[in-house]
Amino acid sequence: MKLNQPQVHSFQVDSNDTPTTISTLDDDQEKQQDVKRELKKRHISMIALGGTIGTGLFLGIARPLIIAGPIGALIAYLFMGTVVFSVTQSLGEMCTFIPVTASFTVFAQRFLSPAFGAANGYMYWFSWAMTFALELSVVGQIIQFWTMAVPLAAWISIVWVLLTISNLFPVRIYGEIEFWIASVKVLAILGFIIYGICIICGAGVTGPVGFRYWKNPGPWGMGIISSNVNEARFFGWVSSLINAAFTFQGTELVGITAGEVQEPRKTVPKAIKKVVFRILVFYIGSLLVIGLLVPYNDPKLQSNDSYVSSSPFIITIQNAGTKILPHIFNAVILITIISAGNSNVYIGSRILYGLAKNKAAPKFFTNTSKAGVPYVTVLFTSMFGSLAYMETTTGGDKAFTWLLNIVGVAGFFAWLLISCSHIRFMKALKQRGISRNDLPYKAMLMPWLAYYAVFFMVIIIVIQGFTSFAPKFKVANFFAAYISVFLFIIFWVAFQIWFKCRLVWKLQDVDLDTDRRDIEEEVWSDDVEDKNKNWWDRFWNYVA
């Protein structure tokens, strides 16, 4: 069933809380300012698989392993994986129905309120702009695994320029770069898991390992805060749960690309379905293998010799006695960080572009090149890479770390508002008499999974800074953990006053129509486009 095609319009909120149609750009000008749908199926499929594999996996799982142990960390990541699955199911249904750039910030604006959408968008954009600076500062530190000859500032400058330039090329170039880099990451993780299984069975210098380290030193880790062993282990598990939530951030990347994907109503659902595979194989599979091969009390997990010296992946290989492989895996981590920096600029620029398109940011941010690249938002987002130089100054590294802590919770708000938007989306569909069975993609177990995600995301946002309260309250740690919550509230209140809008749209005022007409016209040509693809595209679509 093809839904009725409404007239595309945009809304402005007046003081009476009634959306009124305002004049829009003429068709030629609108087309000139739009991004282009040039990401292919294989691009989005591989980005969905490997796009978020980064420092959170390669380096970030060391702490959960130490404080929660192999079993505690595994349970934490499995549990958090269910929340991520719930969020991506909600996102998939909405961005397949309305595939628009910066989708979930747009959905918050249309399904909840303009104030929620703008607050969510700015927080999310700032978090990725800051993360870009982090990736730049990390590249040189990873290279220091091999040599200290080149100053850190030089590596920051080189990579900063290269990544800025790469994001000024058409989006298909970004897709091609990410496709091959994601392929390297996927192959590296699968190869590591196979390698790990071989070591567990006795291929390394340690002989058959089996479940040796689950017995001694044990499966539960050292814990934190409390002197009582059981309490300490519970707090360690809670901390690992929060760490897992940070690690999984970025799984919503598919929603950002929805506005630039070819055949989104076929491609996006397939990408969303890969989330389960990615969580189980890459995160849970890697953590299971590492938990069997690296004891939680291994001193190398807390090593400061180099940035990657504490990576459980490299420690696993070193403990097994394989000589060359640590260098190869360090190269994989280096490629991963560069790829992550490339994605940071892409994500941040599209979020800012989406805000401008929906009149929540200055209009000049909608300017695009002839190739459909929003070059103004690319350059503006990339400017924040200069903050990476703080890592090279005395005292600047502490300020830089504090800034990163400020924006760390922004992704949690994005997940929360995705689920809230989906709840309102489902209610609006029902109010319009549209059956979810007729949608291009129907999310599983709804609305229960959406409520499930909302419940646990609220809890995680509230408790994520619990270590600042114990064993002794630390004011600096408290503000580092919760200032992002205060900033979100400030943004929301400011935009609530700016837009003079309701706290939440009335169901009859929810905008389900804008950006939907054009894509529904394209759906009819999908089968023809499939037949016109060359053998190369058909082969990689199958592989991806």
Q: How far apart are CA 41 and CA 537, in angstroms?
A: 9
Residue 418: its pLDDT value, please? Answer: 92
Q: How far apart are CA 484 and CA 126, in angstroms?
A: 11
Reference 43, options 313, 292, 268, 293; nearest CA is: 268
Alpha-carbon distances, residue 231 vs 61, 67, 236, 430, 529 (angstroms): 21, 12, 8, 46, 59
Strands (E), 306-438: none
CATH number of 42-508: 1.20.1740.10
Q: How far apart are CA 326 and CA 349, in angstroms?
A: 35
* CB neighbour class for 318 (10 Å; exposed up to 12, middle 13-18, buried from 19): middle
Give the angle subtended at the CA of 277 by the CAs of 221 and 78, to the nearest 5°.
25
- pLDDT tens-digit map of 152-175: 888 889 999 999 998 888 878 877
The 8-class DSSP code of residue 237 comes to H
Q: How far apart are CA 455 and CA 333, in angstroms?
A: 34
Q: How many CA atoms lie within 13 A of 134 on its CB side?
A: 23
Residue 425: its pLDDT value, please? Answer: 92
The H-assigned helical ranges of 201-311 are 212-215, 229-247, 253-257, 264-277, 286-293
Residue 301: its pLDDT value, please? Answer: 85
Reference 124, options 414, 371, 432, 369; nearest CA is: 414
- pLDDT tens-digit map of 464-505: 888 888 778 888 788 878 888 888 999 999 999 988 888 888
Residue 456: its pLDDT value, please? Answer: 93
Domain boundaries, the chain: 42-508
Q: How far apart are CA 152 and CA 404, in angstroms?
A: 19
Enumerate residues 6+ apart whose C-beta is below 8 A from 342.
Answer: 163, 166, 167, 174, 177, 178
Which residue ranges of the chain lie beneath pLDDT 70? 1-38, 45-52, 102, 255, 257-262, 394-407, 515-544
Beta bridge partners, 13, equal 19
